[in-house]
Structure 1
Amino acid sequence: MSASFHPIDDVLLAYAAGSLDQAMALLVASHLTLCPRCRDEVARAEAVGGVLLDDLPPTDTALGLLDAVLARLDEPAPAVPVSLPPPAPGSILPQPLRQSLGGDLDRVRWKRLGQGLEQALVLQSGRSRARLYRIAPGLRIPEHGHDGTELTLVLQGGFSDLNGHYLAGDIACADDGVVHRPTADRDGYCLCLAVTDAPLRLTGLVGRLVSPFLNL
């Protein structure tokens, strides 16, 4: 599998540094099991960080420490593979997600949001929530915007919005400047893991009508 859409570099660096919240880290770890490119990026960042911690010379001032760090960042880092197991045979869920769920899709307790759309809360950490979505073929999600950040990892099937066509392994990134209406591919159900750090903002007529009844 070769993903075409990836997390931005800042997100990968934060994951390598261990500074992402639990929900966002779960999504990135799940993406890494499916994306060799991002595994290599995280491995390089972790290798640079480890070298800096192990080998920085003693300094007497903060300025000297900063100079030493900047000097080491120019050096090539060894390629260290990130060891993350792929989905188990017969499963479409990455190992980090299966571990969080305590099993596979048969452990998911789906909540129906509307005709052809279901969600399940996987975990909540601070303001961030990780949810699974199961979307019927060809279904158009109500138009919505964002009061924060939303990252969506496709696990099965695919969907399209104004920014592209996303397939298994891809991550769609949306922020408070994006208003979109994702549409699932017609050739099968779309299964996604989405992480948000603020509620969605339903903007269309239908969205405004159903918004009071949805927990988004």
Structure 2
Amino acid sequence: MNPNGDVVVKPSGSGNGKGIVFVKGTDSPEMIREKIENAAASIEKDYGKGAGFPWAAVPRVNLKVVDNHEQELRVVSFIVDGHALYGKDAEAERYVVAVPTIFKKSPTGEADMVMNVTANLNKLTDADKADPDFMTRLQDAACNKESLEKHGLNVEGMTDVCRWSAAFTRHVVSERIKEKSAAAQASASQPASQEGIQQAATSVKGKEIAEYA
């Protein structure tokens, strides 16, 4: 975590870095109030009254700096049928697959900028946008060995990250299925069937695997 007491405040349901506020440990109460009020007003303007709640406030994680850019790794997790992965003779199970996609980069000298490609694009000058290689300043591929080496990683380490991501995704999906199953049975004024909940929770099953692209 950030040793300076920096905090990230983020609304729910927004995108493209909208409403995200970086609160520094050295900010005065007045500065913090102004930042959050401005962010809330912006979210209300874009999404309507009451939008953004609940807001989350979490400690800012120190990101790794490579070539004077802070880096944020993005991994995509998705659910796929076993037949699509292993052919028609595979078991009819659904698998959680995690794939590394990109390292998002903050522009040089702007360590506190929101780590979002769209938000960063809005900050670039016309000269930057006219440069055909400007996107490489905002992201690196996370699925090739050269990029991994640049960031001090290897295939084995990235596979561990993906395996953890897949396992976490499976856990979240399973918990949501259990909640929906219990809510559906409760709304029917029937006692929740433990067997039914367990069956729903395991409908997304199989090995937590990490496919390295």
**Both structures adopt the same fold (TM-score exceeding 0.5):** no
Q: Look at both structures and tell me which one has the larger radius of gyration over its CA atoms.
A: 2
Larger strand proportion of the pair: 1
Class of the TM-score when normalised by the shorter of the 2 chains:
under 0.3
Normalized per residue, the structure richer in helix is 2
